[in-house]
Amino acid sequence: MVMKYDSLKRHAVGYAFISPWLLGLIVFTAGPFVVSIYLSFTRYDIVSPPVWVGLANYHKLLTADPLFWKSLWITLKYALVAVPVGIVSGVGLALLLNLDIRGIGVYRTMFYVPSIVPVVATSVIFVWLLNPQIGLVNGLLRWFGVVGPAWLMDTKWAFWSLVFMSLWGVGGSMIIYLAGLKDIPSTLHEAAIIDGANAWQRTWHVTLPMLTPVIFFNLIMGVIGAFQYFTQAYVMTLGGPEDSTHFYALYLFNRAWRYLDMGYASAMAWILFVIVMAFTILIFRTHKRWVHYGG
């Protein structure tokens, strides 16, 4: 009985220490998560009580809201383009920064620092860099006799400008890939050298297969992040020009806080949740075919 009391006391002390976090989780995450399920079936504008409308919000989204489909396609296209480009760039950069050369620590720091700059600050900087008249990018292009596009003001270039900007923070994933490279046993490379493999063959048949668990992790996180892409589009374009950068999360935000259509926004949030879960499950279903675990 005494042992049971001591065990209970230890657990109570542990729960007391984590109670602020548990309270925050219930109030600010789990609570709104559950309430949003109910709100998605209502018409609710914050100032008046929610009115039950059943599946009306979902029906309108799927059948009578062209901006819903357009924003979903823009977000999907961003995920299909920016995530693979980010993975390839991150792995390539990590391979370069894994070389044993003089001053490598300085180079690693230089490529990592941009990823810790606040997103809003980065967005404001890129608004200036991509300014068609006084921006640095078009200024450099003029040096080579090239007339640069309007970038964020051009419907053809605005989306690709945001994809280009996504490479600015590739140093964050680069650090993770670099840690994965350091974890690859040197004996594998030594055995490959003995077998006569050159540098390219060692990279393709040893390094990349052993790095696939890290690539898998970054792929999952990248897809989830891409479907929640919001801050850059909000700060830099507000969804324009002509809705060419009207991402799903931006449309959801506008519905919730600009038009106070919380019921409709909750329905959008749950559709987004289902889509992200579907993509995550799909990636997990395929990972056994290409992810190699050393053990």
**Cβ–Cβ < 8 Å for 93, 111:** yes
Write down the pLDDT at residue 120: 95
The pTM is what?
Answer: 0.90
pLDDT in tens, 2-44: 556 666 777 788 888 899 999 999 999 999 999 999 999 999 9
Cβ within 8 Å of residue 231, ≥6 positions away: 119, 120, 123
Write down the pLDDT at residue 278: 96
Whichever domain contains 98, its CATH number is 1.10.3720.10
Three-class secondary structure assignment of 68-125: HHHHHHHHHHHHHHHHHHHHHHHHHHHHHHCCCCCCHHHHHHHHHHHHHCCHHHHHHH
Mean pLDDT per block of 10 residues along the chain (295 residues) reads 64 86 91 93 93 96 96 97 96 92 90 92 94 92 91 95 92 93 90 90 92 95 96 94 96 95 96 96 92 78
Residue 155 lies in a domain: yes
Write down the pLDDT at residue 123: 95
Residue 83 lies in a domain: yes
How many CB atoms are located within 10 Å of the residue 247 CB?
26
Residue 55 lies in a domain: no
Residue 15 lies in a domain: no
Residue 249 lies in a domain: yes
Write down the pLDDT at residue 293: 83
Write down the pLDDT at residue 295: 58
Candidates 182, 211, 194, 181; CA nearest to 294 is 211
Q: How many domains does the chain have?
A: 1
Q: Which domain holds residue 252?
A: 60-290
Query: Which residue is listed with tokens 């490479």?
Result: 167
